[in-house]
Amino acid sequence: MTPRLGIRNNASNFFMLVFTNLFVGSMVGMERTILPLIGEQEFGLASTSAALSFIVSFGFSKAIVNYFAGRLAEQFGRKKVLLAGWGFGFIVPLLVIAAHEWWVIIVANLFLGINQALTWSMTVNMKIDLVKSNERGFAIGLNEAAGYLGLSAAAAMTGYIASVSSLRPEPFLWGLGFALVGFLLSLTVNSTEKHLTLQNVTKSAQSEYSSTIIMKLVTWKERTLSSCSISGLATNFKDGVAWGLFPLFLLDKGLTVGEIGVIVAAYPISWGTFQLLTGALSDKWGRKPLIVAGMTLQGLGLLSFAFSHSYTSWLLDAIVIGLGTAMVYPTLQATVSDVADPSWRASAMGVYRFWRDSGYAFGALFAGFVADMIDSKAAIAILSLLPLAAGVVSFYRMKESLKK
């Protein structure tokens, strides 16, 4: 059968990929609430920098593998790379359960970064392959929504399990189930390479772009692509701090593990849910307004979180930060897809995701340093300036990429 573009024409494959990404996100969610607490309570890590080292290993491994994932997909095919990613996923919960020293947790998160880079990158790229250009925002929003709703549900669930049992091993047994279901679902999806031939792949010099040229374009030479990289890095820089510091900050404020789990889960729930709307809105309103507004909202939400004093206010702040993230997360990827030619789009997305996900590591390094030197409140407050600055950069440098 001749392939056709569009969500409706590829509904079964498209929605199977959406469902698969639910379990991709769950792999991160299983440790979102718990690992900072394990570092402090089980391994006695007094230094915040040491406690957040697992995010550094996750962030750098995910960023580096993201860079190569696009090229691997173009060489070996999307589905093979997706299945390989799940192979690394099985290792993660086993290492966390068996860990007798903190360095084992760090190694586990190296594997988690590889798992996320390969699986999440492929679900995004395969959906973009399937859809029309005016459906990209909605498609990516749906993909990201599924992933982060899976993340938030797993974070809340494992936080509850830990509160009624123990920090290990019970919460991480679920990770083995997430990896198995994700692998089995991935076996059922169809490869999407044939759909690329329908997307006006050029035969110009652009088709021969090298990895070096694409890196330069996405990093600084092309104004819109490089603005996406800056905003993406700032967004996940913030997320690295939120992942590592929010549980410790709230624990110091006297909240219980169960209460912390609700707040930590509320942020990605908001992030995931609102992406169902924001991705589609970017297909109608344009990419740039949502990116500028979303970066600004993230910064203001973080500033409020740092200076709030009650469970309710922290919960509301987490929701606001999630909304701001939802406004930019699918929209930035849709923008990269708009600008990059289909012949090198997967590679461009890989470079963008390299910079975006390196933010996890840089954010954790920043959070640990400032929290050790001053306190976690100062780290969160100072961090709020970065997404605000990225919003200003996007306002002045970015061009609207949506062709209406």
- Identity of the amino acid at 54: F
Burial class of residue 180 (count of CB atoms within 10 Å of its CB; 0-12, 13-18, 19+): middle
Q: What is the pLDDT of residue 205?
A: 47
Nearest to 135 by CA among 272, 274, 6: 6
Measure the CA–CA gap between 290 and 151, rounded to whole angstroms.
23
Amino acid at 82: L
Under a CB-based contact definition with an 8 Å cutoff, are residues 78 and 125 in contact? Answer: yes
Query: Is 224 within 8 Å of 401 (Cβ atoms)?
Result: yes
- Between the alpha carbon of residue 197 and those of residues 4, 124, 170, 340, the distances in Å are 10, 18, 47, 15
Who contacts 46 (Cβ-Cβ below 8 Å, separation ≥6)?
none
pLDDT of residue 257: 80
Rounded to the nearest 10 degrees, what angle do helices 136-164 and 311-339 cross at? 150
* Amino acid found at 176: L
The pair of three-digit structure tokens given for residue 158, joined into one six-digit string: 């494992």
Task: Tell me the pTM.
Answer: 0.85
Provide the token pair at 4. 């056709």
Give 5's contacts (C-beta < 8 A, 6+ positions apart).
130, 131, 132, 195, 198, 199
pLDDT for 51 equals: 75
Give residue 341's pLDDT: 86
User: What does the pLDDT read at residue 46?
Assistant: 73
Tell me the per-residue pLDDT of 59-118, one tens digit each, with 9 for 90 and over.
999 999 998 988 888 788 899 999 999 999 999 999 999 999 999 999 999 999 999 999
pLDDT, residue 207, reads 57
What pLDDT score was predicted for residue 319? Answer: 97
Looking at residue 292, what is its pLDDT?
A: 98
Q: Cα separations (Å) of 172 from 27, 159, 279, 288, 367?
A: 9, 11, 32, 40, 25
Give one word for 33, left, alpha or beta, with left for phi > 0 and alpha for psi -120 to 50.
alpha
Burial class (CB in 10 A: 0-12, 13-18, 19+), 198: middle
* 203-206 LR contacts (CB < 8 Å, sep 24+): 206/341, 206/343, 206/344
Please name the helix (run of DSSP H) or strand (run of DSSP E) that holds residue 344, with its range, or none. none
Average pLDDT, the chain: 91
**Which pLDDT belongs to residue 208?**
64
> What pLDDT shows up at residue 79?
94
Can you tell me the distance from the alpha carbon of 63 to that of 359, in angstroms, rounded to the nearest whole number? 9
Task: Please check whether residue 350 is in contact with residue 67, taking contact to mean a CB–CB distance below 8 angstroms.
Answer: yes
Q: Which residues of the chain have pLDDT under 50?
A: 202-205
CA distances from 360 to 11, 40, 96, 239, 366 (A): 33, 20, 20, 6, 10
Report the alpha-carbon distance of residue 128 to residue 345 in Å, rounded.
10
16: enclosing H helix or E strand: helix 11-32
Tell which phi-psi region holds residue 400, choosing left (phi > 0), alpha (psi between -120 and 50) or beta: beta
Residue 235 has what pLDDT?
97
